[in-house]
């Protein structure tokens, strides 16, 4: 399948494969195992490579990062490519092309001097069948049971994994969804990961749970309702934070939470403040004093439970301890739900107008909640043939990375390399420039990856020394594009 490329051809022309076909004007792309045969003026199935004047060409221009004396930024449009104009230049793999399956050296092996040290950066767009996404969704809402399937367009693309503090977690993609199921499942999984990695919004549905709209850096939308706040803490933590602010204004405070519901006068914080027991017992399993598990079922209501009426979690009110006029605040861990009650003569909670001091305390809970966001981490294994693009002895590159002698980046962004065997890394997609990821129809994701290390170390691990090109030569021949570096991302080497 071929597509007409919408934009003008990029300036970087890399003759990765000669036209070895009886049909004139057709080139075969060997950038992935699909081996597209591309006619003149067309691009292959991935839209990344095209036939420009009979040469296989990477259609997107190379992206470089500059370090100016006063700021770190990607080179702007007014930068003329002269390395003297910036303190340092870093060539990223975005738009660099690939040599998959790396029986050839990487597209760019760049030599530069950084802070007085001769450095080499091996640059390539890796094709990753072994990759996935870890998605952090800031919400107390119950999205689905742990291990429940997560679907996109009806296909299973991942599952719900263990919840974290104030967040629900999805694990998406991976080799089993890309290659182990039906062709449609693999295609949908790949397209879902590509969209999320490039910062687009995706609609996901959890089996037996909620539907959620996920987008890196944006608030999640759960069953059509945008999430506003990430909880300040569990019910017990909320008690600990705000107990002193409730003292003298409420006789009892119950913070409703799906995980740990807090009861102020039983809690250690209430005891520290010498508060009198209120005699109000909540449902669920008591852990330590003032801390209750399983007060209700998970849901989209108060504190991530299925509670609509907060009084439903009260199991009993002790007639010997409670008193008429007792003031009771019930509130959620985000402050989005709150209710004020006063016990009548029969010790039954009656709704009442919330005093200003209590309303201010509830507002303080909301003030301390951070905005709810989605975070998308791309995770991949770079332990395969990708390493052959850097060295003839791949295990030496692996060891250099594991020992901290070679630094891994993705599009210039910092990554976390997992300990243990192989080169398994994670990167926050928000730290890369827009549209840094691609895909091929195998299916697999294409992600930029760079290995930077001192020139002497590169020579010692059997690197392709004869193919090292100076930065000035790369810039002069490639005429790279510049894009803004996401705020807060440091220069990749130094």
Residue 403's closest CA among 448, 464, 454, 465? 454
- 285, 359: one domain: yes
Q: How many CA atoms lie within 13 A of 382 on its CB side?
A: 34
Per the CB < 8 A criterion, the answer to whether 409 and 91 are in contact is no
Paired sense of beta strands 349-351 and 424-428, if any: unpaired
pLDDT-based confidence at residue 21 (cuts at 50, 70, 90) = very low
Q: What is the mean pLDDT of residues 59-84?
A: 59
Q: What is the mean pLDDT of residues 447-452?
A: 95
pLDDT in tens, 182-223: 999 999 999 999 999 999 999 999 999 999 999 999 999 999
Total of domains in the chain: 2
The last residue of one of the domains, among 367, 402, 426, is 367
The yes-or-no verdict on residue 140 having pLDDT over 60 is yes
The reply to whether 15 falls in a domain is no
Per the CB < 8 A criterion, the answer to whether 30 and 36 are in contact is no
The reply to whether 88 falls in a domain is no
- 299, 213: one domain: no
Residue 188's closest CA among 428, 196, 210? 196
- Angle, CA of 420, 425 and 430, to the nearest 5°: 155
The reply to whether 382 falls in a domain is yes
Identify which of 12-16, 296-300, 327-331, 403-407 has the greatest average pLDDT. 327-331
Residue 139's closest CA among 195, 209, 241, 200? 209
The yes-or-no verdict on residue 17 having pLDDT over 70 is no
The reply to whether 49 falls in a domain is no
The yes-or-no verdict on residue 14 having pLDDT over 90 is no
- 180, 123: one domain: yes
- 336, 359: one domain: yes
- How far, in Å, CA of 265 to CA of 276, rounded? 7
| Predicted local distance difference test score (pLDDT) of residue 43 | 86
> What are the beta bridge partners of residue 376?
135
The last residue of one of the domains, among 367, 386, 406, is 367
The reply to whether 52 falls in a domain is no
| Tokens at 212, concatenated | 């959620």
| Predicted local distance difference test score (pLDDT) of residue 63 | 86
Q: What is the mean pLDDT of residues 252-275?
A: 96
| Predicted local distance difference test score (pLDDT) of residue 6 | 37
Q: What is the 3-state secondary structure (H, E, C) of the chain?
A: CCECCCCCCCCCCCCCCCCCCCCCCCEECCCCCCCCEECCCCECCCCCEEEECCEEEECCCCEEEEECCCCEEECCCCCCCCHHHCCEEEECCCCCCCCCCCCCCCCEEEEEEECCEEEEEEEEEEEECCEEEEEEEECCCCCCCCCCEEEECCEEEEEEEEEECCEEEEEEECHHHHHCCCHHHHHHHHHHHHHHHCCCCEEEEECCCCEEEECECCCCEECCEECCECCCCCHHHHHHHHHHHHCCCCCEEEEECCCCEEECCCCHHHHHCCCCCCCEEECCEECCCCEEECCCCECCCHHHECCCCHHHHEEEECCCCCCCCCEEEEEECCCCCEEEEEECCCCCEEECCCCHHHHHHHHHHHHCCCECCEEEEEEEECCCHHHHHCECCHHHHHHHHHCCCCEEEECCEECEECCCCCCEEEEEHHHCCCCCCEEECCCEEEEEEEEEEEHHHHHHCCECHHHCEEHHHHHHHHCCECCCCCCCCCCCCC
- 327, 400: one domain: no
Paired sense of beta strands 413-414 and 155-164, if any: unpaired
The last residue of one of the domains, among 311, 335, 367, is 367
- 320, 381: one domain: no
The reply to whether 71 falls in a domain is no
Per the CB < 8 A criterion, the answer to whether 318 and 342 are in contact is no
The yes-or-no verdict on residue 103 having pLDDT over 80 is no
The yes-or-no verdict on residue 87 having pLDDT over 90 is no
- 241, 362: one domain: yes
- 126, 243: one domain: no
Phi, psi of 385 (to 5 degrees): -70, -15
The reply to whether 63 falls in a domain is no
- Mean pLDDT, the chain, as a whole number? 88
Q: Containing domain of residue 283, as a range?
A: 235-367
The fraction of the chain above a pLDDT of 70, given in percent, is 89
| Predicted local distance difference test score (pLDDT) of residue 196 | 98
The yes-or-no verdict on residue 19 having pLDDT over 60 is no
pLDDT in tens, 357-400: 999 999 999 999 999 999 999 999 998 888 999 998 999 999 99
The reply to whether 405 falls in a domain is yes
Per the CB < 8 A criterion, the answer to whether 442 and 121 are in contact is no
């Amino acid at each position: 399948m071929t597509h007409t490329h919408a934009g003008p051809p990029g300036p970087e022309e890399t003759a990765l494969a000669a036209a070895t076909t009886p049909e004139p004007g057709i080139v075969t792309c060997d950038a992935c195992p699909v081996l597209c045969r591309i006619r003149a003026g067309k691009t292959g199935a991935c839209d990344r490579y095209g036939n420009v004047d009979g040469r296989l060409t990477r259609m997107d221009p190379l992206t470089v990062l500059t370090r100016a004396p006063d700021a770190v930024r990607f080179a702007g449009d007014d930068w003329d490519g002269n390395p003297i104009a910036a303190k340092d230049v870093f060539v990223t793999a975005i738009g660099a092309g690939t040599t998959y399956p790396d029986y050839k050296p990487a597209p760019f092996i760049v030599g530069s001097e950084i802070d007085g040290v001769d450095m080499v950066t091996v640059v390539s767009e890796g094709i990753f069948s072994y990759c996935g996404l870890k998605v952090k969704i800031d919400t107390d809402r119950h999205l689905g049971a742990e291990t429940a399937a997560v679907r996109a367009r009806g296909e299973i693309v991942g599952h719900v994994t263990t919840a974290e503090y104030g967040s629900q977690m999805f694990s998406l993609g991976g080799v089993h969804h890309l290659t182990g199921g039906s062709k449609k499942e693999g295609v949908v999984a790949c397209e879902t990961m590509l969209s999320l990695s490039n910062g687009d919004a995706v609609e996901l549905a959890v089996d037996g749970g909620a539907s959620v709209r996920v987008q890196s850096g944006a608030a999640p939308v759960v069953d059509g309702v945008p999430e506003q706040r990430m909880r300040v803490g569990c019910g017990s933590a909320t008690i600990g934070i705000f107990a002193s602010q409730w003292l003298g204004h409420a006789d009892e405070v119950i913070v409703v939470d799906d995980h740990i519901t807090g009861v102020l006068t039983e809690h250690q914080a209430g005891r520290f403040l010498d508060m009198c027991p209120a005699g109000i017992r909540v449902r669920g399993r008591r852990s330590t004093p003032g801390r209750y598990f399983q007060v209700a079922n998970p849901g989209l209501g108060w504190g991530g439970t299925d509670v609509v009426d907060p009084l439903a979690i009260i199991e009993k009110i002790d007639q010997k301890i409670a008193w008429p006029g007792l003031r009771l605040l019930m509130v959620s861990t985000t402050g989005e739900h709150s209710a004020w009650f006063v016990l009548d003569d029969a010790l039954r909670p009656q709704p009442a107008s919330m005093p200003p001091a209590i309303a201010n305390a509830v507002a303080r809970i909301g003030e301390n909640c951070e905005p709810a966001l989605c975070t998308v981490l791309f995770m991949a294994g770079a332990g395969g043939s990708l390493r052959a693009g850097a060295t003839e002895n791949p295990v030496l590159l692996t060891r250099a990375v594991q020992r901290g002698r070679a630094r891994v980046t993705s599009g210039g962004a910092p990554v976390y390399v997992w300990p243990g065997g192989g080169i398994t890394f994670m990167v926050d997609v928000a730290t890369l420039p827009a549209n840094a990821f691609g895909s091929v129809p195998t299916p697999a994701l294409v992600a930029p990856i760079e290995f930077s290390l001192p020139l002497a170390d590169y020579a010692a691990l059997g690197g392709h020394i004869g193919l090292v090109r100076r930065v000035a030569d790369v810039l002069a021949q490639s005429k790279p594009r510049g894009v803004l570096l996401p705020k807060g991302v440091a220069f990749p080497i130094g």
